[in-house]
Amino acid sequence: MNEVETVSSLRSHGGLQGVYRHQSAATGTEMAFSVFVPDHEPGARLPVVWYLSGLTCTHANVTEKGEYRATCSDLGLIFVAPDTSPRGEGVADDPAYDMGQGAGFYVDATETPWTPHFRMRSYIEAELPALIAAQFPADMNRQGITGHSMGGHGALTIALRNPERFRSVSAFAPIVAPSQVPWGEKALGGYLGPDRAKWREYDAVALIEDGARVPELLVDQGEADTFLAEQLRPALLREACDTAGIDLTLRMQPGYDHSYYFISTFMADHLKWHAERLRAS
Three-class SS string for 100-135?
ECCECCCCECCCCCCCCCCEHHHHHHHHHHHHHHHH
pTM: 0.97
The reported pLDDT for the residue numbered 2 is 63
pLDDT over 80 at 235, yes or no:
yes
Q: Per-residue confidence at 234, pLDDT binned at 50, 70, 90?
A: very high
Over residues 262-273, the mean pLDDT reads: 98
Q: Taking residues 156-173, what's their average pLDDT?
A: 98
**What would you measure as the largest C-alpha separation in the chain, in angstroms?**
52
User: What is the pLDDT, as a whole number, of residue 1?
Assistant: 46
Alpha carbons within 13 angstroms on the beta-carbon side of residue 161 total: 19
What value does the mean pLDDT take over residues 237-264?
A: 98
Q: How far apart are CA 54 and CA 56, in angstroms?
A: 6
Q: Which of 24, 34, 53, 149 is catalytic?
A: 149
Q: Which of these is catalytic: 117, 258, 270, 274?
A: 258
Q: What's the CA gap between 129 and 179, in Å, rounded?
A: 27
Catalytic residue status for 258: yes
User: What would the mean pLDDT of 88-116 be, rounded to a whole number?
Assistant: 97
* Domain boundaries of the chain, sorted by first residue: 5-278
Cross-strand partners of 21: 5, 32
- pLDDT at res. 280: 72
Residue 149 is a catalytic residue: yes
pLDDT surpassing 60 at residue 165: yes
Mean pLDDT of the chain: 97
Residues facing 6 on adjacent strands: 20
Active site residue 40: no
Give the type of residue at 108: D
| CB proximity list for 234: less than 8 A, separation 6 or greater | 174, 176, 219, 221, 228, 250, 252
In 3D space, the residue among 48, 50, 86 whose CA is nearest the CA of residue 171 turns out to be 50
Residue 265 phi/psi, 5-degree rounding, is -65, -40
pLDDT at 281: 62
Report the candidate in 99, 97, 68, 100 with the shortest Cα–Cα distance to residue 81. 68
How is domain 5-278 classified at the CATH fold level?
A: Rossmann fold (3.40.50)
94, 62 in Cβ contact below 8 A? no
Instruction: Please write the tens of the pLDDT for every residue from 190-229.
Output: 999 999 999 999 999 999 999 999 999 999 999 999 999 9
Report the pLDDT value the prediction gives residue 193, as an integer from 0 to 100: 98
Please state the rounded mean pLDDT for residues 21-32: 98
